[in-house]
Amino acid sequence: MKWTYPIVAFTIFFVLGFGLVNLIKEDLEVAPWAGSTATEGRLISHTKNVTRLVNASPADLHAYLKTAIPYEEAQTTNMAPSEENWQDFFIASLNVNPEARHVIILPGGDKKALAWSLPALYYAYFYGSPVIFYNNGELIGRENVTNAMQAYVLGTEQMVPDEVLSDFGDVERISANSPQQLALKLAEYRDEETEFGWGREVDRDNGYFHYVLTTPEDALEGLAAIPYAVSNNASLLYAEEDGGISGELDRYAFAQRADWFVTPSEGPFRHFWFVSNRISYAAQGRLDFSLEKAEYASMGPIALGDTEALLSIFFIWGIASALFVWIHSLYFLPMVNMPIKIGWTLASLLLPVLGPVLYINSYRRPAKEVDDGDWRWIRSHNQQSATATIMGFGYGAPLMIVVGFILVWFGFPIFFGEGMEGTFFWLGAGMPIMMIAMYIFAVLIAWALVQYPMKKSMMPGMSAKKISKMALITTALSMLAVSLGMMSVSWYMFMNKIPMMPKEDDVLWFASMWLASFIGFLVAWPFNWIFIRKQLKPGNV
Amino acid sequence: MIRYFYIIALGLLLTACGKTEGGPGGGSHPLQQEAVATAYTVRLPGRNPEEQAILLSQTVYPATREDNAVGAIILAPQDERIAFMAMNRITHMPVNAPLLYLSEDNTISEQTLREMKRLRPDGVIQDKRMDVYAVNVPKEQVIKVREILGYKVRTFYEEDPVKLASVLDMWQAALKADHPDEVVISAIDHPDGMKHGLGPMGWNAHMGRGFAWVYRDSVPQATIDILKRRYGDFGSFMYLTGGSDVISDKVAQELGQYGLVRRISGPNVYASSAVNAGYKDFGRNWGWWWDWDPRSFGWGIAQAGHNYIIGNPDDLLSMIPAAVLGHMGKHGPILLVEPDSVPKATADYLKMVKPFKTGPQQTILNFAWIIGDTTSVSLATQQKLDRLLSPFDIPADTSAYLTEAPTLQEKKD
């Protein structure tokens, strides 16, 4: 019956491996349904975290926002922005802050210059920064600012050369490889002393941040939407010309996802205003999703929450521990039987660090060959208990996770109705059913395919019936002890600690099960001390 | 063999790497022009309940991937009592479902069927991966959903809404292994019973607590059954939606046998919605030596920086599915207005939570969804709301403070 152990190990490897591949696959996917069904039959283009201002032209958008945002503080000048007048449009719309602590120097001229200048124009409009345009070798508006002010130059040296800045005292250039990158840089940049930059960084957990999104080609639409800089504190960001968003913007947007501690009705809330028609629905879906509030523990799908990160490290250490034990035992412990090696490997998968420590401690000891090819190691009672626990836990606990995963994948059966009501109504609920199923199926599989053949090979003189009964009792009791810790912790994690129960494609589901298994082992260890004492389990193999 | 598995797994992962480029997303959509956006409001301009429900699910669920599609879909007839209850009990996690309506002739329209297809439910893990919850939906329509869309459907059939509340309560308990001790209670036989209950219904769509019906002057047996299932230290915590004119004091006292009774109410439905937005009840619920679980009911919003779902209570069928906006995205309470004005109670509440500048780089912001087309809530009202939600000054408008006494503008005999 030697075939049973690798079959069990393969099943565990296959199901959990499938789960992990599925998890990574879904995290890598961006908008897989955008091209097929997602847009079918849509009546409007707004979504919960993205409002689209669909427009025929910059002039059309300008006219619309004149009435949609009627507040004097945010109003632009009456002339519509165009490629020719965009500098004048901005200067005529700007209310300069008399106490401004900085001046902004920007490239002027053509539409390309507008695309580079626009992110800074948004901040200037919000704050009231004096703006100087560099165009055809001239600094337009230079006469309005003093040399004492900190000057910020946006754009490359080809656009605004260093030599024209020589009479400014303090000059700082902020540049990037593209307008898209420059916009992101400015969204994150902040100098408190000069009060320049939005300072909307990754670690800003508070703050109501809105964003206007356009493309460099549609920068004029972005300029027409500049009232949002005042009314909604909106920074300007750019999508790509093909309608998609860059990896950098994707990263930034996910960093702007706000968490919640008590309920998702807590602030802050963040929002995108799209003003370019060419931005794709896939990009909209992605950005809408990126800003969706999520609970602190996991930060929702794709993003990595603090608790999730911590437990993921635990989980990854488990994989590393299993690899270490498997490879080490293959090369250095030829006298250990394959089922035992598999047991140690699977246990180490769920017992990061502790698994390898116990493994090394178990085999760095004197050993003797009691029969042909049958070795025994001399171990303390505690160490024997640990080994005995590992032999049950190594197969049983991963099997419980496998059963749990299959149930989560296909959904829990539930039972309800008048007949189920009363003190034990909860026995019809999904989570208890999952726990009971995890225990029963794992015990049955581990008993039939692992513990029975293992005991049979160790006690060839005993009758099959007696071995079978003994294996069932020890497996059931040992797994019960594991379950005591494992189920309590998984209930605590899924039903209490984590506000939204993680799904099968959530790393927190796997990581929580890993943590629960670890605690399950710690609970089962002392129980196995008794099994060793009563000689119901071997502890020196 | 293992090599092949690695290759397949790696191939799967490589093909999964996604992209966001695509055709212009700002194309022509039939109702885009009516979906007026101001700085702090966006209108979802449904012209009838069926269309409104579709607009809402399209707004909340872009459905470009599993995580921003639905867990399930609620399908219900255009019956206010059924829809109200479904929103109270089904929408919240772990189900995560918007409400879609049958047509007035109790069939699924092509538009709704297409929306159901677009939503691609993930299935509710805690309930055999159910994709659709059909509440009193004719059997042939359920078959249609199963056969055409291939979705798994759980059906609830109970003509009496009072009993249906009990069925949904038992089903929810099986999902969560718990009967939530907080229970919203609305009057089924009062014409404004559900209008007063719209706000707490929004909280239930947001947080998934219990719901039961009462009559104005009596407590039905099904409701007593629901309340008896609660094991909190005080039994249930009951929140009556409406004053004693809607749910009598006699009923309140009778309910007192089963736990603590509170009212969420104002002198009219608008005031009730404002009270609900600011309402918070918290404190003891249940504890045992090591662990304890407080009760915590209501939005309790009395400061700037929040979102609202604003609409006309007379369009009840359109307002009910709008609670899904409090379940995802902007998460906020329902406030009620008249088509052409912002009633005083609602305006006063919005003035209390008016935003202001909070730092050199930011201003705290409010936001609201406007539910319905301009016959439900006029453009002028949307603009007034925008101003109330804004961090900018409100021009003095003394008319908002006039009582409802007869106007003095014309000479009376």
DSSP A386-436: HHHHHHHHHHHHHHHHHHHHHHHHH------SGGG-STTGGGGSHHHHHHH
Burial class of residue A496 (count of CB atoms within 10 Å of its CB; 0-12, 13-18, 19+):
exposed
Interface TM-score (ipTM) > 0.85:
yes
Residue of B nearest to A267 (CA): B305
**pLDDT of A148 above 80:** no
Query: Which residues numbered 244-283 in B keep a CB inside 8 Å of some CB on A?
Result: none
**pLDDT of A297 above 80:** yes
A270 CB neighbours in chain B (<8 A) are none
Give the pLDDT of residue A273: 97
**pLDDT of B399 above 70:** no
B392 CB neighbours in chain A (<8 A) are 71-73
B120 CB neighbours in chain A (<8 A) are 33, 37
Give the pLDDT of residue B394: 76
Closest-CA residue to B39 (of B400, B294, B387, B402) = B387
Closest-CA residue to B223 (of B168, B173, B264) = B168
| Mean predicted confidence (pLDDT) in B40-59 | 97
Site of tokens 């920068």: A219
CB proximity A379 to B under 8 Å: no
A12 CB neighbours in chain B (<8 A) are none
Our CA-based measurement puts residue A428 at a distance from the nearest CA of chain B, in whole angstroms, of 6
Our CA-based measurement puts residue B59 at a distance from the nearest CA of chain A, in whole angstroms, of 4
Please write the tens of the pLDDT for every residue from A389-404.
Answer: 998 899 999 999 999 9
Span of A76-90, A416-430, B14-28 with lowest mean pLDDT: B14-28
Q: Kindly determine whether residue B24 and residue A231, on different chains, have CB atoms separated by under 8 Å.
A: no
Q: Which residues pair with A9 in a beta bridge?
A: none
Please write the tens of the pLDDT for every residue from B213-247.
Answer: 999 999 999 999 999 999 877 889 999 999 999 99
Q: Kindly determine whether residue B362 and residue A44, on different chains, have CB atoms separated by under 8 Å.
A: no
Q: Kindly determine whether residue A33 and residue B64, on different chains, have CB atoms separated by under 8 Å.
A: yes
**pLDDT of B400 above 50:** no
**pLDDT of A482 above 60:** yes
A418 CB neighbours in chain B (<8 A) are 170
Between CA A467 and CA A457 the distance in angstroms is: 10
Tokens of A89: 């449009």
Going by pLDDT thresholds of 50, 70 and 90, the confidence category of residue B408 is low
Give the pLDDT of residue B149: 96
**pLDDT of B322 above 50:** yes
Span of A119-128, A266-275, B208-217, B401-410 with lowest mean pLDDT: B401-410
- Cα B183 to Cα B80, B83, B224: the distances in Å are 19, 17, 12
Give the pLDDT of residue A522: 94
Other C-beta atoms closer than 10 Å to the C-beta of A417 total 12
Please write the tens of the pLDDT for every residue from A338-360.
Answer: 889 999 999 999 999 999 999 99
Going by pLDDT thresholds of 50, 70 and 90, the confidence category of residue B402 is very low
CB proximity B69 to A under 8 Å: yes
Return the percentage of chain A with pLDDT > 90, whole number: 67
Q: Kindly determine whether residue B125 and residue A408, on different chains, have CB atoms separated by under 8 Å.
A: yes
A263 CB neighbours in chain B (<8 A) are 206-207, 331
Span of A28-37, A71-80, A236-245, B240-249 with lowest mean pLDDT: A28-37
Please write the tens of the pLDDT for every residue from A107-127.
Answer: 999 999 999 999 999 999 999
Residue of A nearest to B154 (CA): A414
Give the pLDDT of residue B405: 53
Q: Kindly determine whether residue B361 and residue A34, on different chains, have CB atoms separated by under 8 Å.
A: no
Asked if residue A446 lies in contact with residue A401, where contact means CB atoms within 8 angstroms, the answer is no
Between CA A155 and CA A118 the distance in angstroms is: 11
Tokens of B200: 């707490």
Tokens of B327: 């379940």
Interface test with A, best of B32, B113, B125, B166 (most A CBs within 10 A): B125
In the β-sheet with B334-336, what is the strand arrangement from edge to edge?
Answer: B41-44, B367-371, B307-311, B334-336
Going by pLDDT thresholds of 50, 70 and 90, the confidence category of residue A163 is confident
**pLDDT of B410 above 70:** no
Tokens of B77: 């007839």
Give the pLDDT of residue B278: 97
Asked if residue B301 lies in contact with residue A265, where contact means CB atoms within 8 angstroms, the answer is yes
Query: Which residues numbered 70-99 in A keep a CB inside 8 Å of some CB on B?
Result: 70-74
Our CA-based measurement puts residue A535 at a distance from the nearest CA of chain B, in whole angstroms, of 37
Please write the tens of the pLDDT for every residue from B199-212.
Answer: 999 999 999 999 99
Give the pLDDT of residue B409: 59
Give the pLDDT of residue A495: 86
| Mean predicted confidence (pLDDT) in A170-189 | 95
Going by pLDDT thresholds of 50, 70 and 90, the confidence category of residue B1 is low
Residue of A nearest to B38 (CA): A68
Q: Tell me if the bond preceding B94 is cis, omega within 30° of 0.
A: yes
**pLDDT of B401 above 50:** no
**pLDDT of B153 above 50:** yes
Give the pLDDT of residue B14: 67
Query: In b/e form, how buried is each residue of B158-176, taking b as 16+ CB within 10 angstroms?
Result: beebbbbbbbbbbbbbbbb
Query: Which residues numbered 7-36 in A keep a CB inside 8 Å of some CB on B?
Result: 17, 21, 24-26, 28-35
| Mean predicted confidence (pLDDT) in A159-171 | 87
Q: Kindly determine whether residue A243 and residue B301, on different chains, have CB atoms separated by under 8 Å.
A: no
> Going by C-beta distance under 8 Å and a sequence separation of 6 or more, which residues neighbour residue B144?
B108, B113
Q: Kindly determine whether residue A244 and residue B21, on different chains, have CB atoms separated by under 8 Å.
A: yes
Give the pLDDT of residue A437: 94
Q: Kindly determine whether residue A68 and residue B37, on different chains, have CB atoms separated by under 8 Å.
A: yes
Interface test with B, best of A15, A43, A122, A420 (most B CBs within 10 A): A43
Q: Which residues pair with A259 in a beta bridge?
A: A294
CB proximity B11 to A under 8 Å: no
Average pLDDT over chain B, rounded to whole?
A: 92
Angle between helices B161-176 and B221-228 (to 10 degrees): 20
Closest-CA residue to A320 (of A280, A354, A290, A289) = A354
CB proximity A281 to B under 8 Å: yes
| Mean predicted confidence (pLDDT) in A243-267 | 92
Distance linking the first and last C-alpha atoms of chain A: 18
Residue of A nearest to B7 (CA): A21
**pLDDT of A384 above 80:** yes
Going by pLDDT thresholds of 50, 70 and 90, the confidence category of residue A195 is very high
Between CA A338 and CA A329 the distance in angstroms is: 9
Closest-CA residue to B117 (of A95, A33, A4, A355) = A33
Span of A313-327, B328-342, B347-361 with lowest mean pLDDT: B347-361
Give the pLDDT of residue A424: 87
The larger pLDDT score, comparing residue A137 to residue A282, is at: A282
Average pLDDT over chain A, rounded to whole?
A: 91
Residue of A nearest to B325 (CA): A48
Q: Kindly determine whether residue A280 and residue B118, on different chains, have CB atoms separated by under 8 Å.
A: no
Nearest by CB to residue B58, choosing from A42, A292, A503, is A42
B288 CB neighbours in chain A (<8 A) are none
Q: Kindly determine whether residue B38 and residue A69, on different chains, have CB atoms separated by under 8 Å.
A: yes
CB proximity B231 to A under 8 Å: no
